Amino acid sequence: MSSLSKVFTDYAGSRVLEALADVVFVIDAEGYYKNVLTKFPELLAAPVSDLTGKNLIDFFPEPTRIALMETLNEAIERGKTGNVKYPMEIDGKTRWFEGRFVSISEKEVLFFVFDITQSYLSQKKLANSQANLNFILDNTEQAFFLVHKDSRLIDANRSGYRLLSELGLPSRQPGEKMSEILPKAFIAELSNAFLNALNGNNTHVIKEFNINSQVYHLRIEIAPICGSDQKPNIIAIGILDDTSQWKSDRKLLEAERNLSFFADNIDDIIWQISADGTLLYLSSGIEKLLGYLPESMLGRSILELVAPASRHIFNQLIDSGFSNDVDLPRKFEMQLLHANGSVRWGEVNYIVRNGFYTRQMKIIGILSDITLRRESERILQATSQRLLELNKTKDKFMSLIAHDLRNPLNAIKGFTELLIEDFSLISDGEKKQYLNTISNSSSELLRLLDDLLVWSRTQMGTISFNPEVIEVDIIVNEALIISQASALKKGIRLVSKVEAGKTVYADANMVRTILRNLIGNAVKFSFHDGVVCVTETDDGKFVTLSVSDHGMGLPHGHDKEVFIPDIEKHLPGTDGERGSGFGLVITREFVQYHKGTLSFEANYPEGTIVSFSLPATESEWKSGK
């Protein structure tokens, strides 16, 4: 038995070999197994009895067996110890081994095998982790520096060297001191943080630095790395250059401040709503325009600000999702509800925007107060209509002048010529009759000219209005006396039932004109031997005077036409008297000056009652009716 075989069979020898490796083989120069010794048979590719006499190339794939045979031959031929690492499939799992060939003769080697699966996998994970870390460090925007406690650079990532270049600083090589190249302001700021790290503490610095006349905004993290002695001999420095973001944020903040100032100092309302109409933002203009505090309306529906007459517009917009594909107005007018319940007019302009980070739709708009404009348009429209009416009235006025002035003037001219040409041939009775006709025509002409003059002054707004406390019964009696002459011709009795001493707050001259026109019309449309009566009622606020007659009355619907100056539309009196209609037009306007009302109570063909009201006191006139 050889000495090697004796060692394998000897108990003490076996224990020695087992202590040297997990598996020990004796292999001849051809690669055949001669002996196997192991405490871990599960590490073998086959049972020990099956291995003896087999060649090692029978159990390994080509790359591994080539490496094993080359290392075996080198140990036999050169007497050198050779190492080789190889994988092996055992029970369906890959295990890693390290084999060491030791020459013991010219024909045999000892093959020591060590199971390195755990250490191999750990080293592989470590290598992968290191590779991943290096990849991350080299591709992150944040600059990293490893610095020795004496400020010598140990290493830096790609972003670190790039940052030094962007800051205009010379690049450092490992072993060079960083403190020799950094700006003084930079060193002064970081020195305390560096000392703090040497004491085992982390430091976070966010600051603006002026480097080479350029302002940079940097975020710096400084942290200690402790060695096996638990002392921070290495300092890790991370620097993020967010200057661009910082400048953008400053510009955005400035823009937001400007927008906020603009939004809070204009009369218009800037608003933002979601697609369902929920208010997301309101500028302070809403308080001035509609009386609401902005914060009180946030989260509520914009429809709460819209008057019912205009809600269909926003309902249509909301139902359509504010889609650009639908033919919807981007600018429109609508009615708004003030906090006090009143209605105002607004003009809306809006745009649709999707969020920058999300697709959530937002609608941004501006609401302008156009109440004054709408009111001006209404007044302008009313004025235009009034001007049209005045123009029509002017045309009729000219027609009336031509008609009404012609008749009395023709009568005056005709009878005057008769008197001049045939004065000696005409009897005294006829002369008196002609002179009466001339006198009546002159009175009619004067009355017409007075009416035209008063009417023109009301149209131009130049008539004076001087209300005061007056005794209305006196004014009524004066008007009855003026109309007495025309009443006597038709045998009409004039009666006043107005309470003596009854007072009103009115313009005396206007009241005289009103009564003269109404009593004159009553006489004109009364039959012979009739009665015209003036009565009065008092409700404590307004005194109503009524002029009644027992004449031909006013046909149904004719109460509106009496206010239109048109000779052809006005009914003639009971004796064929004609009129222009200016009297009632003037009467209506004078009653309006007093904030009263004018009404007709017709019982055709049995007479008419015309009533008008006057304020009893100055306070009633000021408050209106």
At 623, the amino acid letter reads S
Q: What is the CB neighbour count within 10 angstroms for residue 140?
A: 14
HEC string for 172-205: CCCCCEHHHCCCHHHHHHHHHHHHHHHCCCCEEE
- In the chain (625 residues long), the average pLDDT of successive 10-residue segments reads 54 63 89 88 84 86 88 88 89 90 89 90 74 64 86 86 80 77 70 84 84 83 83 86 82 73 76 86 87 91 90 81 60 89 89 62 84 87 82 68 70 86 86 84 77 72 86 93 85 94 93 91 90 94 93 65 54 73 82 91 78 93 77
For the whole model, what pTM was predicted? Answer: 0.40
Q: Write the pLDDT tens digit of every residue in 450-472.
A: 777 777 777 676 778 899 999 99
Q: What is residue 557's predicted lDDT score, i.e. its pLDDT?
A: 57
Q: Which of 449, 367, 368, 352 is nearest to 408 (CA)?
A: 449
Q: What is the set of domains in the chain, with CATH numbers?
A: 3-122 (3.30.450.20), 140-246 (3.30.450.20), 269-369 (3.30.450.20), 464-623 (3.30.565.10)
Q: What is residue 419's predicted lDDT score, i.e. its pLDDT?
A: 86
Q: What is residue 98's predicted lDDT score, i.e. its pLDDT?
A: 93
Give the CA dihedral 370, 373, 375, 380, nearest 10 degrees.
Answer: -160
Q: Write the pLDDT tens digit of every residue in 400-436.
A: 666 667 767 887 888 898 888 888 888 888 888 888 8
Rounded Cα–Cα distance for residues 219 and 213 (Å)? 19
Q: What is residue 568's predicted lDDT score, i.e. its pLDDT?
A: 47
Q: b vs e for 15-44, b when ≥16 Cβ sit within 10 Å of the residue's Cβ?
A: eebeeebbbbbbbebebbbbbbbbeeeebb
Q: Please report, for residues 43, 97, 452, 486, 599, the alpha-carbon distance to residue 128 in angstroms, rounded to integers and kept in the order given.
A: 27, 20, 112, 128, 106
Which uninterrupted H or E stretch holds 71? helix 62-78
At 600, the amino acid letter reads F
